[in-house]
Amino acid sequence: MFRVRLFIMTAVFIGIATVGYGESRGADWKVYGETVFGVSFYDTESITHPSKSIVRVWTKIVYSRNGMIRLVIRHGSRYENLSHSVRLWEINCVDKTYRFLSMQNYSQEGVVLFSEEGKKDWDFIVPDSMDENLYKEVCP
């Protein structure tokens, strides 16, 4: 267990060092959770309020080796060099719903592996989930 945790922490450190270099200088990434897929961050500098109840925020998942392997199995060999994903989220703090507006998956070299426009429909935030962790961080 110790070796797995050490590997994940090392991968996160390397991922942050490499990923942070190429991204906007104003980003201030804060951890909001960790799963077998990797470590999730949100950018405290990107938080906006398009309306009274809506919050927009950029998030990033730095994938663990396990997370990368699972995506290779699901989506093919193009993910063998996967580093991280970045998403723009919209959260309705009053209704406790969310949707993502865009997503990009990046390689270790910073090349976009996949890009997708977000969902138009709102989903409910599931209790005890990563989405709820983010909700608790960004909603007043």
Residues 79 and 113: beta-carbon distance below 8 Å: yes
Q: Output the pLDDT for position 62.
A: 97
8 Å CB contact between 93 and 76: no
Q: Tell me the pLDDT tens digit for each residue of 81-131.
A: 999 999 999 999 999 999 999 999 999 999 999 999 988 899 999 999 999
Whether the full predicted model's pTM is greater than 0.85, yes or no, is no
- What pLDDT, in 10s, does the model give residues 30-89? 999 999 999 999 999 999 999 999 999 999 999 999 999 999 999 999 899 999 999 999
pLDDT value of residue 109: 95
Whether domain 2-138 has CATH 2.40.128: yes
Delimit the domains of the chain by residue range: 2-138
Q: Name residue 58's beta-bridge partners.
A: 88
Interatomic CA distance for residues 113 and 36, integer angstroms:
21
Q: Where are the beta strands (DSSP E) in the chain?
A: 29-35, 38-43, 54-63, 82-92, 97-107, 112-117, 123-124
SS3 121: coil
For 2-18, write each residue's pLDDT tens digit.
443 433 343 434 344 33
CA 119 from centre of chain: 16
